[in-house]
A and B are shown apart, each in its own frame.
Chain A
């Protein structure tokens, strides 16, 4: 089936540093999402993005977070500066759009903030 790719699979950084998580969504999809999963807990919605704009964001999407997809390349989540509580697995997802609600998930990036 359609695949969402995420790079890197693991990232370890020091608190206060900047990190960029990359997502390669399914090629003809129009909506993009980031979810956060802390170990042992459920996935929680962070943000969705369509047509170059943030459409919705949750209270977990702090001011230090930003998303973009410049020129149809990777859909990125940038955290600057990082905090200890940002340690989690971040899942990217994409969906075709109004014809289908199905969201396809990537394998996740495990972020560890020291």
Chain B
């Protein structure tokens, strides 16, 4: 059973549009949710992260919206750029008791110029 689910599997948007990537989780003890992005043949890199004390975290064009009751979160990328084209992984951790990250299967985002 997957503990972290992502949708859609792939997403194509036009340059300037807002891309919305979805994530849901099972374990209510998860208390740290990072999003990583990965370009082909490169390391996954931390993009933005949120802890459940907040329901929103913003960093430039990237915003996480978090709904603890529904165990859902989403990553919004406004004014999408072709350089944003990558695979985005949602992850979760019960950081107070564990350091392992549980990853979703990723969303492959393509931004068309």
Contacts and interface: CB of A to CB of B under 8 A. Distances in A.
Interface in A81-103: 91, 95, 101-103
Q: Per DSSP, are chain A's interface residues mostly helix, strand or loop, or mixed?
A: strand
A14 interface: no
B42 to A, nearest CB: 6
Chain A contact-residue range equals 20 to 34
B89 interface: yes
B106 A106 contact: no
A103 B46 contact: yes
Interface centre among A33, A42, A107 (most CB of B within 10 A): A42
Interface residues of B, number: 23
B13 interface: no
Interface stretch (B52-60, B70-78, B96-104): B96-104
Interface string B83-102: 00000010001010011111
Interface of A: 1, 4, 31, 33, 35, 41-45, 48, 55-56, 58, 91, 95, 101-108
